[in-house]
Homo-oligomer: A and B are copies of this chain.
Amino acid sequence: MAAEAGVVFVGNKPVSSYVLAAVTQFSSGSKKVILKARGRAISRAVDAAELVRRFLGEKVKYGNITIGSERVGEPGKERQVSTIEIELVKTE
């Protein structure tokens, strides 16, 4: 049984991997899929979200889109990276 909300972490793979992951989660019953990314992968997450939207058309819409920061790196070498979370929600 699929979870109600799925999460896809967007990294450095081709954008199609994340589109497929999100579409698969919707197909297996998720009502909501959240694309999460940080740093340079943020642009790719937006690309993936737009492609999912184009692929599934009226069946999904955007939910909340939030941006923020996270602290990464080893102690003493920490730095802030920006983050994004894009909710895609099934309309039916």
* Identical chains in the assembly: 2
Q: Does chain B have a CB within 8 A of A59?
A: no
A24 within 8 A of B: no
Q: List the interface of chain A (C-beta within 8 A of B).
A: 39-43, 46-47, 49-50, 54, 62, 65-69, 80, 82, 84, 86
24 A-B residue pairings within 8 Å (CB atoms): A39-B43, A40-B43, A41-B43, A42-B42, A42-B43, A42-B46, A43-B43, A43-B82, A46-B67, A46-B82, A46-B84, A47-B82, A49-B67, A49-B82, A50-B67, A50-B68, A50-B80, A50-B82, A54-B69, A62-B66, A65-B65, A65-B66, A65-B67, A67-B86
